[in-house]
Amino acid sequence: RGLNIYPPIFGNGWSVTYTKNSICTLKGSTVDLSCSYTYPSGYTIKKAFWFTKWSGMDAEDLSSVPGYEGHIEYLGDKESDCTLRITDLRLSDSAGYMFRFITSGGTFSGSPVSLTVTDVVLEMNRRSVSEGERVTLTCRTKCTLDSITAYSWYKNGQPIPNSNTYSPVYSLFSVSSEDTGRYSCAVEGLEDLPSAEETLTVTCKYMGFKPLACYISIVVTDIIQLWNVYIKCLISGLFVLLLNSLSFTSDGPRNTSVSVSPSGEIVEGSSVTLTCSSDANPPVQSCTWWFRKNGGHYQSVFNQNTGPHHTFNQIKSSDTGEYYCEAQNEMGTDRSRTINMDVKCE
Protein backbone atom coordinates (compact mmCIF):
# COMPACT_ATOMS: atom_id res chain seq x y z
CA ARG A 1 0.00 0.00 0.00
CA GLY A 2 1.06 3.59 -0.48
CA LEU A 3 2.41 6.10 1.95
CA ASN A 4 3.50 9.75 2.02
CA ILE A 5 0.29 11.30 0.71
CA TYR A 6 0.47 15.07 0.39
CA PRO A 7 -1.84 16.67 1.41
CA PRO A 8 -3.00 13.99 3.94
CA ILE A 9 -6.69 14.31 3.13
CA PHE A 10 -6.70 11.73 0.27
CA GLY A 11 -9.07 8.82 0.64
CA ASN A 12 -9.54 5.60 -1.29
CA GLY A 13 -8.45 5.20 -4.90
CA TRP A 14 -4.76 6.07 -4.37
CA SER A 15 -2.30 3.17 -4.55
CA VAL A 16 1.07 1.90 -5.79
CA THR A 17 1.40 -1.89 -6.12
CA TYR A 18 4.57 -3.89 -6.80
CA THR A 19 4.66 -7.44 -8.15
CA LYS A 20 7.51 -8.19 -5.72
CA ASN A 21 8.52 -6.24 -2.64
CA SER A 22 11.96 -7.86 -2.41
CA ILE A 23 14.21 -8.86 -5.32
CA CYS A 24 17.60 -10.62 -5.41
CA THR A 25 19.46 -10.71 -8.72
CA LEU A 26 22.95 -10.99 -10.21
CA LYS A 27 25.50 -8.30 -10.95
CA GLY A 28 25.55 -7.60 -14.70
CA SER A 29 21.97 -8.77 -15.31
CA THR A 30 18.81 -6.76 -16.08
CA VAL A 31 15.84 -6.46 -13.72
CA ASP A 32 12.33 -5.03 -14.08
CA LEU A 33 10.70 -3.52 -10.98
CA SER A 34 7.12 -4.30 -12.06
CA CYS A 35 4.68 -1.73 -10.74
CA SER A 36 1.15 -0.35 -11.22
CA TYR A 37 -0.62 2.64 -9.69
CA THR A 38 -4.14 4.09 -9.36
CA TYR A 39 -5.66 7.46 -8.53
CA PRO A 40 -9.22 8.84 -8.56
CA SER A 41 -10.73 10.07 -11.80
CA GLY A 42 -10.72 13.79 -12.34
CA TYR A 43 -7.00 14.19 -11.66
CA THR A 44 -4.19 14.43 -14.19
CA ILE A 45 -0.63 13.15 -13.84
CA LYS A 46 1.94 15.92 -13.94
CA LYS A 47 5.03 13.81 -13.22
CA ALA A 48 5.90 10.19 -12.38
CA PHE A 49 9.36 9.01 -11.32
CA TRP A 50 11.43 6.59 -9.20
CA PHE A 51 13.84 7.54 -6.42
CA THR A 52 16.02 6.00 -3.73
CA LYS A 53 16.82 9.06 -1.62
CA TRP A 54 14.44 11.52 -0.07
CA SER A 55 14.17 14.14 2.68
CA GLY A 56 10.68 14.98 3.85
CA MET A 57 8.60 15.78 0.78
CA ASP A 58 11.65 16.19 -1.47
CA ALA A 59 12.81 13.20 -3.55
CA GLU A 60 15.51 13.04 -6.23
CA ASP A 61 14.35 11.69 -9.60
CA LEU A 62 16.73 8.83 -10.52
CA SER A 63 16.74 9.87 -14.19
CA SER A 64 18.50 13.10 -13.18
CA VAL A 65 21.07 11.48 -10.86
CA PRO A 66 24.61 11.28 -12.34
CA GLY A 67 25.53 7.72 -13.34
CA TYR A 68 21.95 6.58 -14.06
CA GLU A 69 21.69 7.90 -17.61
CA GLY A 70 21.40 4.88 -19.91
CA HIS A 71 21.38 2.67 -16.81
CA ILE A 72 17.63 2.90 -16.02
CA GLU A 73 14.59 3.02 -18.27
CA TYR A 74 11.05 3.99 -17.23
CA LEU A 75 8.75 1.53 -19.01
CA GLY A 76 5.55 2.93 -17.49
CA ASP A 77 3.09 5.58 -18.58
CA LYS A 78 0.95 8.36 -17.11
CA GLU A 79 -2.07 6.13 -16.61
CA SER A 80 -1.40 2.94 -14.60
CA ASP A 81 1.96 1.31 -15.40
CA CYS A 82 5.02 2.39 -13.42
CA THR A 83 7.54 -0.39 -14.25
CA LEU A 84 11.24 0.52 -14.00
CA ARG A 85 14.03 -1.39 -15.82
CA ILE A 86 17.63 -1.34 -14.58
CA THR A 87 20.31 -2.77 -16.90
CA ASP A 88 23.88 -3.98 -16.32
CA LEU A 89 23.30 -4.11 -12.57
CA ARG A 90 26.06 -3.00 -10.21
CA LEU A 91 26.57 -4.02 -6.60
CA SER A 92 26.03 -0.35 -5.72
CA ASP A 93 22.49 -0.57 -7.16
CA SER A 94 21.38 -2.44 -4.03
CA ALA A 95 18.86 -0.10 -2.36
CA GLY A 96 15.20 0.55 -1.57
CA TYR A 97 13.42 1.89 -4.68
CA MET A 98 10.20 3.96 -4.45
CA PHE A 99 7.75 5.21 -7.09
CA ARG A 100 6.10 8.63 -6.80
CA PHE A 101 3.48 10.32 -8.94
CA ILE A 102 2.41 13.93 -8.78
CA THR A 103 -1.14 14.86 -9.79
CA SER A 104 -3.14 18.04 -10.05
CA GLY A 105 -4.45 17.20 -6.58
CA GLY A 106 -1.32 16.10 -4.71
CA THR A 107 1.61 13.67 -4.45
CA PHE A 108 1.56 9.94 -3.67
CA SER A 109 4.51 7.55 -3.05
CA GLY A 110 4.63 3.77 -2.84
CA SER A 111 6.43 1.70 -0.22
CA PRO A 112 10.06 0.79 -1.04
CA VAL A 113 10.99 -2.21 -3.18
CA SER A 114 14.13 -3.83 -1.76
CA LEU A 115 16.68 -4.67 -4.50
CA THR A 116 19.79 -6.70 -3.61
CA VAL A 117 22.50 -7.21 -6.26
CA THR A 118 24.93 -10.07 -5.66
CA ASP A 119 27.93 -11.79 -7.23
CA VAL A 120 28.13 -15.53 -7.82
CA VAL A 121 31.08 -16.81 -5.77
CA LEU A 122 32.73 -20.22 -6.12
CA GLU A 123 34.13 -21.65 -2.89
CA MET A 124 36.60 -24.55 -3.04
CA ASN A 125 37.22 -26.41 0.22
CA ARG A 126 40.81 -27.27 -0.84
CA ARG A 127 42.85 -25.73 -3.64
CA SER A 128 45.83 -28.11 -3.50
CA VAL A 129 45.33 -31.85 -3.03
CA SER A 130 46.92 -35.19 -3.79
CA GLU A 131 45.54 -37.78 -6.19
CA GLY A 132 42.70 -39.85 -4.77
CA GLU A 133 41.36 -37.12 -2.47
CA ARG A 134 37.93 -35.44 -2.68
CA VAL A 135 37.30 -31.76 -3.46
CA THR A 136 34.00 -29.94 -2.87
CA LEU A 137 32.91 -26.89 -4.89
CA THR A 138 30.13 -24.62 -3.58
CA CYS A 139 28.32 -21.95 -5.62
CA ARG A 140 27.16 -19.12 -3.33
CA THR A 141 25.25 -15.83 -3.49
CA LYS A 142 24.65 -13.43 -0.59
CA CYS A 143 20.87 -13.57 -1.11
CA THR A 144 18.43 -16.14 -2.50
CA LEU A 145 17.97 -15.74 -6.25
CA ASP A 146 14.48 -16.12 -7.69
CA SER A 147 13.56 -19.35 -9.49
CA ILE A 148 16.90 -21.18 -9.43
CA THR A 149 16.37 -24.62 -10.97
CA ALA A 150 19.97 -25.76 -11.49
CA TYR A 151 23.63 -24.83 -11.31
CA SER A 152 26.19 -25.19 -14.11
CA TRP A 153 29.86 -26.02 -13.53
CA TYR A 154 32.86 -25.15 -15.70
CA LYS A 155 36.50 -26.19 -15.99
CA ASN A 156 38.94 -23.95 -17.88
CA GLY A 157 35.98 -21.97 -19.25
CA GLN A 158 34.22 -25.03 -20.71
CA PRO A 159 31.09 -26.76 -19.32
CA ILE A 160 31.84 -29.95 -17.38
CA PRO A 161 29.81 -32.72 -19.13
CA ASN A 162 26.75 -33.97 -17.20
CA SER A 163 27.55 -31.70 -14.26
CA ASN A 164 24.34 -29.66 -13.85
CA THR A 165 23.03 -30.03 -10.29
CA TYR A 166 19.98 -28.93 -8.34
CA SER A 167 22.26 -28.41 -5.37
CA PRO A 168 24.81 -25.56 -5.06
CA VAL A 169 27.41 -28.21 -4.12
CA TYR A 170 29.47 -30.22 -6.65
CA SER A 171 31.99 -32.87 -5.56
CA LEU A 172 35.05 -34.20 -7.37
CA PHE A 173 35.54 -37.76 -6.12
CA SER A 174 38.99 -39.34 -6.06
CA VAL A 175 40.69 -36.60 -8.11
CA SER A 176 43.54 -37.27 -10.52
CA SER A 177 46.14 -34.99 -12.07
CA GLU A 178 43.73 -34.52 -14.99
CA ASP A 179 41.39 -32.60 -12.64
CA THR A 180 43.94 -29.79 -12.28
CA GLY A 181 42.48 -26.59 -13.75
CA ARG A 182 40.39 -23.43 -13.27
CA TYR A 183 36.81 -23.96 -12.03
CA SER A 184 33.76 -21.67 -12.01
CA CYS A 185 29.98 -21.94 -11.64
CA ALA A 186 26.80 -20.20 -12.81
CA VAL A 187 23.05 -20.40 -12.21
CA GLU A 188 20.75 -21.77 -14.91
CA GLY A 189 19.49 -19.09 -17.27
CA LEU A 190 22.34 -16.75 -16.33
CA GLU A 191 25.27 -18.78 -17.67
CA ASP A 192 26.77 -15.61 -19.17
CA LEU A 193 27.33 -14.33 -15.62
CA PRO A 194 29.61 -17.00 -14.06
CA SER A 195 31.62 -16.71 -10.89
CA ALA A 196 35.29 -15.80 -10.83
CA GLU A 197 37.53 -18.82 -11.42
CA GLU A 198 39.28 -20.75 -8.65
CA THR A 199 42.33 -22.91 -9.46
CA LEU A 200 42.65 -26.53 -8.30
CA THR A 201 46.08 -28.18 -8.26
CA VAL A 202 46.29 -31.99 -8.02
CA THR A 203 49.72 -33.50 -7.33
CA CYS A 204 50.84 -37.12 -7.71
CA LYS A 205 51.26 -39.10 -4.51
CA TYR A 206 54.73 -40.18 -5.62
CA MET A 207 56.77 -37.65 -7.64
CA GLY A 208 59.84 -39.73 -8.46
CA PHE A 209 61.86 -42.85 -7.74
CA LYS A 210 64.20 -42.91 -4.75
CA PRO A 211 66.61 -45.64 -3.61
CA LEU A 212 64.79 -48.24 -1.53
CA ALA A 213 66.16 -49.35 1.85
CA CYS A 214 64.07 -52.51 1.73
CA TYR A 215 65.45 -55.87 0.55
CA ILE A 216 63.91 -59.35 0.54
CA SER A 217 64.75 -62.76 -0.87
CA ILE A 218 62.01 -64.85 -2.48
CA VAL A 219 61.32 -67.84 -4.66
CA VAL A 220 58.89 -67.84 -7.60
CA THR A 221 56.12 -69.43 -5.54
CA ASP A 222 56.21 -66.42 -3.16
CA ILE A 223 54.99 -63.82 -5.70
CA ILE A 224 51.83 -63.01 -3.72
CA GLN A 225 53.84 -62.79 -0.53
CA LEU A 226 56.36 -60.52 -2.31
CA TRP A 227 53.61 -58.16 -3.28
CA ASN A 228 52.38 -57.92 0.33
CA VAL A 229 55.89 -57.27 1.69
CA TYR A 230 56.59 -54.74 -1.05
CA ILE A 231 53.47 -52.71 -0.20
CA LYS A 232 54.36 -52.64 3.49
CA CYS A 233 57.86 -51.49 2.63
CA LEU A 234 56.83 -48.56 0.43
CA ILE A 235 53.74 -47.66 2.49
CA SER A 236 51.74 -45.71 -0.15
CA GLY A 237 51.69 -44.33 -3.67
CA LEU A 238 51.82 -45.85 -7.15
CA PHE A 239 54.88 -48.09 -7.48
CA VAL A 240 56.21 -50.63 -9.97
CA LEU A 241 58.73 -53.37 -9.07
CA LEU A 242 60.59 -55.23 -11.84
CA LEU A 243 61.71 -58.77 -11.05
CA ASN A 244 62.99 -61.09 -13.78
CA SER A 245 61.14 -58.94 -16.38
CA LEU A 246 57.84 -59.22 -14.47
CA SER A 247 56.00 -56.02 -13.40
CA PHE A 248 53.98 -55.78 -10.19
CA THR A 249 51.84 -52.66 -9.87
CA SER A 250 50.18 -51.26 -6.76
CA ASP A 251 47.16 -49.09 -7.55
CA GLY A 252 43.93 -47.64 -6.14
CA PRO A 253 40.49 -48.83 -7.28
CA ARG A 254 39.58 -48.21 -10.95
CA ASN A 255 36.59 -48.92 -13.21
CA THR A 256 34.22 -49.13 -10.25
CA SER A 257 30.66 -50.13 -11.21
CA VAL A 258 27.35 -51.24 -9.67
CA SER A 259 25.26 -54.19 -10.92
CA VAL A 260 21.72 -55.21 -9.89
CA SER A 261 20.61 -58.81 -9.40
CA PRO A 262 18.21 -60.03 -10.57
CA SER A 263 18.07 -57.78 -13.63
CA GLY A 264 14.83 -56.49 -15.11
CA GLU A 265 11.80 -54.98 -13.39
CA ILE A 266 12.01 -54.70 -9.59
CA VAL A 267 8.79 -55.50 -7.72
CA GLU A 268 8.05 -54.52 -4.12
CA GLY A 269 8.64 -57.40 -1.67
CA SER A 270 11.27 -59.17 -3.77
CA SER A 271 14.93 -59.72 -2.85
CA VAL A 272 17.40 -57.47 -4.68
CA THR A 273 21.19 -57.35 -4.38
CA LEU A 274 23.48 -54.51 -5.44
CA THR A 275 27.10 -55.49 -6.14
CA CYS A 276 30.04 -53.06 -6.20
CA SER A 277 32.87 -54.22 -8.52
CA SER A 278 36.27 -52.58 -8.96
CA ASP A 279 39.77 -53.26 -10.34
CA ALA A 280 42.27 -52.71 -7.52
CA ASN A 281 45.71 -53.89 -6.43
CA PRO A 282 45.75 -54.52 -3.50
CA PRO A 283 42.11 -55.68 -3.50
CA VAL A 284 39.28 -53.43 -2.35
CA GLN A 285 39.16 -53.32 1.44
CA SER A 286 35.74 -51.70 1.91
CA CYS A 287 32.76 -50.31 0.01
CA THR A 288 30.51 -47.42 1.00
CA TRP A 289 27.00 -47.21 -0.45
CA TRP A 290 25.33 -43.84 -1.11
CA PHE A 291 21.67 -43.12 -1.84
CA ARG A 292 19.37 -40.18 -2.56
CA LYS A 293 15.71 -39.56 -3.43
CA ASN A 294 14.10 -36.98 -5.70
CA GLY A 295 17.31 -35.05 -6.43
CA GLY A 296 18.09 -34.46 -2.73
CA HIS A 297 21.46 -34.79 -1.01
CA TYR A 298 23.27 -38.13 -1.05
CA GLN A 299 23.41 -39.98 2.24
CA SER A 300 25.23 -43.11 3.33
CA VAL A 301 23.09 -46.25 3.32
CA PHE A 302 24.90 -47.37 6.47
CA ASN A 303 26.80 -45.44 9.12
CA GLN A 304 30.00 -47.33 8.34
CA ASN A 305 31.79 -49.04 5.44
CA THR A 306 30.34 -52.35 4.27
CA GLY A 307 31.20 -55.14 1.86
CA PRO A 308 30.73 -55.17 -1.91
CA HIS A 309 27.15 -56.52 -1.66
CA HIS A 310 24.07 -54.68 -0.38
CA THR A 311 20.91 -56.82 -0.23
CA PHE A 312 17.30 -55.71 0.16
CA ASN A 313 15.60 -58.84 1.55
CA GLN A 314 12.12 -57.39 1.01
CA ILE A 315 12.53 -54.28 -1.09
CA LYS A 316 9.99 -51.45 -0.67
CA SER A 317 8.80 -48.70 -2.98
CA SER A 318 10.44 -46.22 -0.60
CA ASP A 319 13.80 -47.74 -1.64
CA THR A 320 13.34 -46.16 -5.09
CA GLY A 321 16.18 -43.72 -5.80
CA GLU A 322 19.71 -43.19 -7.09
CA TYR A 323 22.56 -45.38 -5.79
CA TYR A 324 26.32 -45.49 -6.18
CA CYS A 325 29.22 -47.07 -4.33
CA GLU A 326 32.74 -46.03 -3.36
CA ALA A 327 35.45 -48.69 -3.41
CA GLN A 328 38.51 -48.14 -1.21
CA ASN A 329 41.88 -49.70 -0.55
CA GLU A 330 45.02 -48.31 1.06
CA MET A 331 45.98 -46.66 -2.25
CA GLY A 332 42.83 -44.57 -2.77
CA THR A 333 39.11 -44.39 -3.48
CA ASP A 334 37.01 -44.61 -6.67
CA ARG A 335 33.31 -43.91 -7.22
CA SER A 336 30.95 -45.79 -9.53
CA ARG A 337 28.44 -44.21 -11.87
CA THR A 338 24.98 -43.59 -10.40
CA ILE A 339 22.23 -46.13 -11.13
CA ASN A 340 18.49 -45.43 -10.87
CA MET A 341 16.48 -48.13 -9.11
CA ASP A 342 12.68 -47.95 -9.59
CA VAL A 343 10.66 -50.24 -7.31
CA LYS A 344 7.20 -51.07 -8.66
CA CYS A 345 4.25 -51.66 -6.34
CA GLU A 346 2.79 -55.16 -6.31
CATH classification at residue 340: 2.60.40.10
The confidence score (pLDDT) of residue 306 equals 72
For the chain, helix, strand, coil in percent to 5 are 10, 45, 45
pLDDT of residue 302: 65
Tell me, what's the pLDDT at 299? 85
- Strand 272-281 and strand 309-312: the pairing is antiparallel
Q: Are the CB atoms for 301 and 291 separated by under 8 Å? A: yes
CA distance 37 to 109: 10
Domain assignment of residue 132, given as a range: 119-203
Tell me, what's the pLDDT at 257?
Answer: 94
Q: Which residues of the chain have pLDDT under 70?
A: 1-11, 55-57, 147, 149, 206-250, 302-305
Global pTM reads 0.54
- Asked whether residue 108 falls in the same domain as residue 138, the answer is no
How high is the pLDDT of residue 248? 53
- Side-chain-side CA neighbours of residue 89 (13 Å): 24
- Rounded CA-CA distance 8/12 in Å is 12
The answer on 328 and 253 residing in a single domain is yes
Total number of domains constituting the chain: 3
On whether both 96 and 197 belong to a single domain, the answer is no
Choose one of 203, 230, 258: the last residue of a domain: 203
Task: Find, among 101, 87, 90, the residue nearest to 51 by Cα.
Answer: 101
Predicted confidence at residue 7, as pLDDT, reads 39
Q: Are residues 266 and 233 in the same domain?
A: yes
Domain boundary among 176, 203, 230: 203
For residues 329 and 235, membership in a common domain is answered with yes
343 and 260 in one domain?
yes
